[in-house]
Every structure is written in C-alpha cells, then in structure tokens.
Amino acid sequence: MKYVDEFRDGERARRLTVAIRNEIRDDRSYRFMEFCGGHTHAVFRYGVPDLLPANIDLIHGPGCPVCVLPVGRLDMAVRLATEHPEVILCSYGDMLRVPGSGGESLFKARAKGADVRMVYSVSDALELARANPDREVVFFAIGFETTTPPTALGIQTARREGLKNFSVFCNHVLTPAAMGAILNVDPNSEDRVDIDGFIGPSHVSVVIGSDAYRFCAAQHRKPVVIAGFEPLDVLQSLLMLVRQINEGRADIENQYRRAVTPSGNSRAQAVVADVFQRRDSFEWRGLGEIPASALALAHTYREFDAERRFDMQYIPSHGTKSCECPAVLRGAKKPTDCKLFARVCTPENPLGSCMVSDEGACAAYYTYGRFREPAERGVPTQATKIPASAINA
C-alpha cells in the first residue's frame, strides 16, 4: 500500500537497527521517553524493543488523555449522569469503561439507569442535541491538542445554530506543560524519572508545531525528535536521538516532516484560541497539579460550559489503591513491575485507566504479550538473529 508499506519495510528496518547499534556507546545507557501512548502501542505492535541494544531503554510517558484524567474528574461525570435524569452524557468509548472511585464507571452508571452514550465525535453529540430538544446533552470532552479543535468547532456550531441544550464538560489538556512538569521534578525527589530525550508526539505536533518544544532544549538541555507512528519512523527517530546524545547536542528535530511543520496548523490554533482559555491549574493522574496545563471554555462561551451550567464540583480522589497507573504514567514503573498486572488487572477487569485505553501502556503490554517470555512471543533467540555484520548498514 503506497505511503504505508514504505514505512514498514523489513530490510530498511534492519539497516536502521544496525545503524543504531553502530552509533551507541557501550559505556553509557540511553533513556528515551515516548510521550505519546500511540507510540507506545506502535513500538510493541512492531516489536521495536526487541530490535534495540540492551542499553537503550524506552520510558513510557503520560500521553494518553483517558489515562491522565484524574479520578475526581471522572467522578464528576458519573455524578452528573446519575443525579440529573434530564442529561444525556456523551463521550468516547474508552472513557466509559474507566473505573472511578469505588470502581464506579460510566458504563456501570448506565446499567443503573443513567443515560450515558458512546459517540465517535462531538458531531454525534450535536446531532443528539438537535434530535432531543427537551433533554440536556453534555459532551464529556477529553484529549490533547489533537482533539481540541473539533470540540471548539462543535461549540461554535452550537452557538451558530442556537442549540441551548448542548454543553461541554471540558477536560482538554496540553502536551508541552506535561513535558515541562516531567523535566521540572526535583532531582532529589523519588518521583524523578531520568530521561535523555523525548520521542515527540505525532498528531499533537501537526496542530501545535515542532517549535512548541523549544523549551525542552533551551531550558532543560533535552533533545526532542518528532516521530511518525510507523516502525521506520520510530527507529529513525531513535537513531537521531542517539546521535544528538553522542554529539552533546540538545536540538528539536522533526523526523515527521511529511506532516509536521515548525509552526503547526494556524487555523486550528485560531479556533482553539477563540473558544478556550487556559486554566490556572489542573490535576493530572500521576503528575499532580500542573499550572496552565489544561483548557476551559472562554468567558464568551460560558453558556456552553457544563461545569457552570450544572454547578459541577471537583472532589479529589485517588481511585483504587492497588492501581499503580500513576507510577506508570510518570515513567517510574513499567506495567510489568506492577504486582497485579495480567493477574488481577486485565482488559476484562481493569483496575485503572492504563489498562482500559487504546493508548494506555498497560493495554499495550497486555495486547502484545510483553508479560510473556520472549520465546512465547515468537522473538528469535540471540543465536538465530541476523548478525549486524551480515547487513550493509
């Protein structure tokens, strides 16, 4: 398939793998965080970790919008759906299965009679508002910068059409702020995760542009390479990061040039700037309170703000005590370090958001069998691997 197979070519992958092996230094380790949960799934889907030298460690970041939503915000949605029978609460499928306080979820709320519906987009929620003028339709909006412009367009559409029964429970969060929080942790803190650089997110960067990460290099001396989602994208980005580290550089490089520009999508940015404003602070699961890291509806669109319309109150909650999603989300643990992973916590019985979401690290490990021994996963033994000398790098 044109423009897909080219980025999954086995021979090119072997060449990139050999190039990485030739570039790394044996006297040091390389720790790179793939911020985006989509990258986490991509690297395991294509077996990228099994191609890498042992001294390259991939750290899984908090780039899953379902995962980083704090339990207290989910509890707000559950209370809204259960205490207001006039409300039709709409959100994406993953969000409905995440367990909140006491294991309660939106799916369980629906089983008890709440009108909770899965939608594929904000457009579906608008259509429900048009079809049910006597009901209040609330769109439970989540996501990073990628899904924020569609929500903004939906709100503009509601105003233009005069849809008085439509509102948004806004939980859109911002990638650079989270990356800054990861890098700003006190070096002596037990929450500190040492990384050498970032594999930058793909779709988010299409919207905000590669220049949005300049602070990582300028203030923290950490390189960022924006990467596509295909296996060759990831391997090439790792090679670029290794070279920066070896050369003592900290630059923002764009491997995903076929989609990402330095300044991003100005039209999408303008729509977001019109509809939203930054919150003073917002809690992230695993990262705590981060200043200016999330969006709320601007004052000029306050009539579509569900938090204001229904007087929704935030009550902090830690969720299930045995769930170790917070440590996984900040890169302090891998899913396989969690005692209950793949034993008690499974996709059928998730203890936390990381096992629910299509972009969650725990779901990636489970889906692609990372809790099994390499031989069980079909990974060749060292004796049967193609030696580097047999491939022209």
The per-residue pLDDT for 186 is 79
Q: What is the dihedral of CA 198, 203, 204, 207, to 10 degrees?
A: 130
Name the residue among 92, 37, 36, 101 with its Cα closest to residue 362.
37
Split at pLDDT 50, 70, 90, the class of 7 is confident
- Is the per-residue pLDDT at 349 higher than 70? yes
3-state SS record for 50-89: HHCCCCEEEEEEEECHHHHCCHHHHHHHHHHHHHCCCEEE
CA distance 44 to 381: 18
Query: What tens digit of pLDDT does each residue of 313-337 get?
Result: 999 887 777 889 999 998 999 999 9
CA distance 47 to 1: 21
Region 46-58 average pLDDT? 93
Query: What tens digit of pLDDT does each residue of 17-36 get?
Result: 999 999 999 999 999 999 99
Query: What tens digit of pLDDT does each residue of 148-172 get?
Result: 999 999 999 999 999 999 999 999 9
Identify the helix (H) or strand (E) that includes residue 378.
none
- Is the per-residue pLDDT at 375 higher than 90? no
3-state secondary structure (DSSP) of residue 130: helix
Least-confidence region, from 142-151, 336-345, 363-372: 363-372
- The pTM is what? 0.90
The per-residue pLDDT for 374 is 55
Domains and CATH numbers, the chain: 5-63+175-254 (3.40.50.11750), 67-172+264-309 (3.40.50.11740)
Region 366-373 average pLDDT? 78
The per-residue pLDDT for 325 is 92
Token pair, residue 309, equals: 């319309």
